[in-house]
Amino acid sequence: MMLLSEVEYLDIGRRIVPLLGSALGGPSAQALRELARAYDPSADESLISAEVFLFHKYLLMQACVGVFPEAHVDHVVGGLFAALNEQASGLELGPDRQQAMEAVWQQRARQFDQPFSQDRGQFLDEGSGPAHWQQTIGQFCQNVRAMESPPDLWAGNDGPSYLASHSVTIALDQMLSALGEIYRLHFQEES
């Protein structure tokens, strides 16, 4: 399997970036914002927005892992991050701010890895219940505000956590579908 050039991976990253923008403007982002407000009514809106962004960035990265061949995944994700950095270049962030943002991203990615893997396993189990992303969404809420004894997010059958889980499932499906098209455009000859 032949690797592409850095420019080609950056081009793929540029094609993927709008998927993040679409998710951030979509129902899953809104559902997570509502859940965060229900979980911690005192949470600052900028903190909620930052956590919603990091959550969807993580979902998109995992969708890339699920779609692209293993030999290309790191390069595709690198192209995505380079394209995101291009978008952020207009913000004129200093090196300290960029390093702080990268440190937060690395921390969130590590925090989400185990819950996402466990939830993904349950999601793939046909006998699982309707709350597919319990642990991942629970980690999202803990990132909004760490609590030793968090409220039961899953009490009842139609609370904001269920809506968030359902919306995240739809967002992830849309990401996978769109990434599948990008994969076919760039790697169909290798399949």
**pLDDT band at 51, cuts 50/70/90?**
very high
Average pLDDT score over residue span 75-89: 88
What's residue 92's pLDDT? 65
**Whole-number pLDDT of residue 131:** 67
* Most confident listed range (74-88, 89-103, 135-149): 135-149
Q: How confident is the model at residue 86 (pLDDT cuts 50, 70, 90)?
A: confident
Q: Is pLDDT of 159 > 90?
A: no
Give pLDDT tens digits for 4-29: 999 999 999 999 999 999 999 999 99
Task: Taking residues 147-168, report their average pLDDT.
Answer: 87
d(CA 84, CA 20): 10
> Average pLDDT over the chain, rounded to whole?
90
Residue percentage of the chain with pLDDT more than 90: 71
Whole-prediction pTM: 0.91
**pLDDT at residue number 187:** 85
Length of the chain measured in residues: 191
* Dihedral Cα 54, 56, 60, 65, nearest 10 deg: 70
Q: What pLDDT shows up at residue 191? A: 46
Q: What are 105-142's pLDDT values in tens digits?
A: 999 999 999 999 999 888 777 666 666 899 999 999 99
What are the tokens at 19?
């998927």
